[in-house]
Amino acid sequence: MLIIGIAGGSGSGKTTVVKKILKQFPANQVAIVHMDSYYKDNSNLSMEDRAKINFDHPDSIEFDLLYKDLLALKSGEAIEQPTYDFITCTRKKETVHTEPKHVIIVEGILLFTDARLRGLCNIKAFVDAEPDERVIRIIQRDTKERGRAVQDVLDRYEIVKSMHIQFIEPTKRFADIIIPQGGENQVAIDMMVATIQLKLQQEGIK
């Protein structure tokens, strides 16, 4: 089994990179684990307090559960991957049944901040993009998917920017592969796919 870690700033294009990688492999070979699903449940907080949560800080992630689930997959055990509601800022009751596959792709902005998770990744990729591009994608995502007003997104961006500089950008040094220009860099994505295919061949997986 190969565990592929994909990190990068919010709005960098990680989702596009993952989708393009998935197109190159049979569905029965690859499983996806989203770090966003492992945000801590905040149902014990008031809506006012939930609105203040800093989702770009490592303290917002339940890293222990994510690490436990990845270990289970690596051991050949299926997991019930949690799901998260960004409108209510709480964990949903529904889970996603995830079977172990030849390739596990785990992605998230803060993935490489945890040494245990870095240690589990056979290949670590960092998706990079210019700040202007990222803020446009953040606005599009948060208004369409998370029900936030444009001004609210812009008001929070200073926090997002600060967290990126403090926690996310420094983890670029842990990456084996850096993908500039996000999901638009087809050459880098092709290199990523080729690296995965080579690793699979070395493991005797066709």
Q: What's 81's domain CATH number?
A: 3.40.50.300
Please indicate, yes or no, if residue 46 is contained in any of the structural domains.
yes
* Residue at token pair 């050459």: 187
Please indicate, yes or no, if residue 82 is contained in any of the structural domains.
yes
Element (H, E) at 50: helix 47-50
3-state secondary structure of 106: strand
Tell me what pLDDT residue 120 has.
Answer: 96
Please indicate, yes or no, if residue 88 is contained in any of the structural domains.
yes
Tell me what pLDDT residue 64 has.
Answer: 97
User: Which domain, by its residues, includes 80?
Assistant: 2-194
**Residues lower than pLDDT 50 in the chain:** none
Please indicate, yes or no, if residue 200 is contained in any of the structural domains.
no
Residue 47 CA to residue 64 CA, distance in Å, equals 25
Please indicate, yes or no, if residue 21 is contained in any of the structural domains.
yes
Stated pTM of the model: 0.86
Please indicate, yes or no, if residue 205 is contained in any of the structural domains.
no
Please indicate, yes or no, if residue 203 is contained in any of the structural domains.
no
Tell me what pLDDT residue 176 has.
Answer: 92
Please indicate, yes or no, if residue 204 is contained in any of the structural domains.
no
Tell me what pLDDT residue 135 has.
Answer: 73
- For the chain, how many structural domains are there in total? 1
